[in-house]
Amino acid sequence: MTRKYHLMVEYLVQFVVFLGKYLRIENQIGVKQKEKPSIRLLLLF
């Protein structure tokens, strides 16, 4: 149970880090595009 919880936390941390990097890249590439980053993220998974 604790190992499963630990894996979940680790996955969440990695996901948050990835999210931050993705949003940063998204902002750098083009703020002109009015597409919502969240929708594009959902398409990735």
What is the predicted pLDDT for the residue at 44?
60
Delimit the domains of the chain by residue range. Answer: 2-44
Give the pLDDT score at 8: 92
Give the whole-angstrom CA distance, residue 14 versus residue 24: 15
pLDDT on residue 37? 58
| Residues lower than pLDDT 50 in the chain | none
Nearest CA among 42, 41, 45 for reference residue 21: 41
Q: What is the mean pLDDT of the chain?
A: 75
Helix, strand, coil proportions of the chain in percent (round to 5)? Answer: 80, 0, 20
- Nearest 5 degrees, angle CA 38-CA 18-CA 5? 100
Sole residue written with tokens 């949003």:
23
